[in-house]
Amino acid sequence: MTYLQLASLMVLLNLVPAATLAHEGHNEAFSGSSVETKVERVTVKPEGQKSIGLQTKKVHPGSIDLVITATGRVEAAENRSYDVNPSVNGIVTQVYVKQGDAVRANQVLATIHSVDVASAISTVLTERAKIQADAAKTRTQHQQDIAVQQKEVEITKISYDRATQLLSEGITARKDYLDAKNAYEVAKVKLASVKKQMQQDYALAQKQLKITTNAARDQARVMGVSVADFNRAMASNAVVSDIPIPSPFGGIITFRDITPGENVGPGKKLFSIVNLSPIWIVVDVFQEQLPRISIGQEVSIKTSANQKLHGKISSIGTIIDSEKRTLPIRVVSDNHGGILKPGMFVTAEIIFGQGGGSRMTVPSTALVDDNGHSFVFVKYGNAFQPAFVKIGQRTSEQVEIADGLYDGDEVVTRGAQQLHAQSILNTKTKSTSTKETHEPAPTNSAMSVLPGFLIGIFTSALIALLAWFFLRKRSP
């Protein structure tokens, strides 16, 4: 081997460590910048990736929603709030809910003992009994009349049959036959008339009973007695005195002013219930943003606990706040799961368009912050390399990457924070190990400030010079 070959080999060997400092082509834009971080490459075995639920996704250029971000305050819909008052005077016997409780439609909130209700039910029971008694008396009278008239029909029929026989034998006059026939026909007509009258009187009594019962049922319903309870009272002839106070719809009890034993009446507000689905979010937007706002626009809503919902703009205000120069807009959300509560503050993102689609986009869960700098983890087999990025547009769900990623990079979308924590832990462990096994190097050493590749070149040149000198000495 010539001294020139040996020198070349030593130069290459000393340049290898410098080459390994590159991170698969990432972060060139940040070389020489002020990015200072202790985030290092993390290696995680497949079973470890599975245990933390790690997920990745290949990134490609794509569009991102263009949004207006503003703070919104949650309010109950005006047409979804209801005050519960008793319909009659009475004494509270039971209270089943408290302020803050969620209730269902028709759920019983309290029970009231009402003398007025008992009196009304007692009255209708008395009236019904009187009507039924009168109807029974009339029916009995008609049945007696029918029995008498039925007997008259039988007697006249016998006379008629006899007259018919005698006429056929030529024994009686035709006039006697006709008189017997006429008496029989009149008796039958009177019997039919009595039966019809009984049916009419019975139907009239039933109609009167129905009218009286229906009127009492309507009165009882107004007083708070359900149809089922009223019908049970009518069937059992039992007086109802306890009436339930039901919830008009599902919602949250926001007010309660009722105590067992208390006398209450129609003017007393017992409960206030707010239905939280749908719910309103009032968002203030600046006047210069108004051209981008329109009714029906989609709005993404995020709570401080990072819970996400969606809604639509239902109305836009007409008066601008003279101090803030903002205009209120109303967003309506279905509020699935009852996440939003009146008085809560949320972040609202009003979507007004799409980006150009020429930049990489990643889910917001992929982004990690380290000392004020943002990066993502790029996967290389079982290794995960931090790649610092420059951020463009962003929403609560997506982030546009202006620089730092390449088309096709496989980025960690779930588990990035766990990888970051592991990287910091590895760095601290390495730092502790170094301190235990090495003396700290002087901080003012001139060699410590030389770039790595210059040290390698200097070392290579020195070795090459020594090799040349040695070979020359041995040559004849």
**For 101-137, what is each residue's pLDDT tens digit?**
989 988 999 999 988 888 888 888 888 888 888 888 8
Does 34 score more than 80 pLDDT? no
CATH code assigned at 341? 2.40.30.170
Among 19-23, 379-383, 411-415, the range scoring the smallest mean pLDDT is 19-23
Using one digit for the tens of pLDDT, what is the confidence trace for 134-152?
888 888 888 888 999 899 8
Q: What is the rounded average pLDDT of the residues 217-238?
A: 80
Calpha distance 210→223 (Å, rounded): 20
The enclosing domain of 386 has a CATH number of 2.40.420.20
Mean pLDDT (the chain) is: 81
Q: Is it the case that residue 258 has pLDDT exceeding 70?
A: yes
Output DSSP code: residue 22.
Answer: S
191 shares a domain with 43: no
Domain annotation covers residue 98: yes
Query: Token pair of 332, please?
Result: 């309506």
The answer on 245 and 232 residing in a single domain is no
Would you say residue 32 has pLDDT above 70? no
How many folded domains does the chain comprise? 4
> Where a domain ends, among 236, 261, 287?
236
457 and 376: one domain? Answer: yes
Buried b / exposed e along 124-151 (16+ C-beta atoms within 10 A):
bbebbeebeeebeebeeebeebbeebee
Q: Which one of 236, 259, 288 terminates a domain?
A: 236
Q: How far is CA 342 from the centre of its chain?
A: 14
Question: 365-370: which pairs have CB atoms within 8 A and are 24 or more residues apart?
Answer: 365/413, 365/414, 365/416, 366/57, 366/399, 366/411, 366/412, 366/413, 366/416, 367/391, 367/399, 367/416, 368/416, 368/417, 368/420, 370/37, 370/39, 370/420
Q: Kindly report, residue by residue over 358-403, the tens digit of the pLDDT.
A: 788 888 889 998 888 889 999 999 999 999 999 887 777 788 888 8
Q: Are residues 126 and 210 in the same domain?
A: yes
Q: Does residue 245 sit in the same domain as residue 103? A: yes
The pLDDT, as a whole number, for residue 260 is 94
Domain that holds residue 331: 67-76+277-354
Residues 147 and 196 in one domain: yes
285, 290, 293, 295 alpha-carbon torsion, rounded to 10°? 100
CA separation for the pair 226, 108 (Å, rounded): 12
| H/E element, 261 | none
Global pTM?
0.49
Q: Do 405 and 455 belong to one domain? A: yes
Residues 27 and 138 in one domain: no
With respect to residue 476, please indicate whether it lies within any of the assigned structural domains: no
Q: Indicate if the pLDDT at residue 474 is higher than 80.
A: no
CB–CB of 353/298 below 8 Å? Answer: no
Pair 375, 425 in one domain: yes
pLDDT per residue as tens digits for the range 303-313: 989 898 999 99
The residue with tokens 């931090």 is 386
Among 326, 354, 382, the domain-final residue is: 354
* 156 and 201 in a common domain: yes
User: Percentage of the chain with pLDDT > 90?
Assistant: 27
N- to C-terminal Cα separation, the chain: 16
383 and 292 both lie in a single domain: no
d(CA 46, CA 26): 24
Residue whose token pair is 């096994």? 437
Six token digits for residue 90: 């009475």
For residues 144 and 216, state if they share a domain: yes
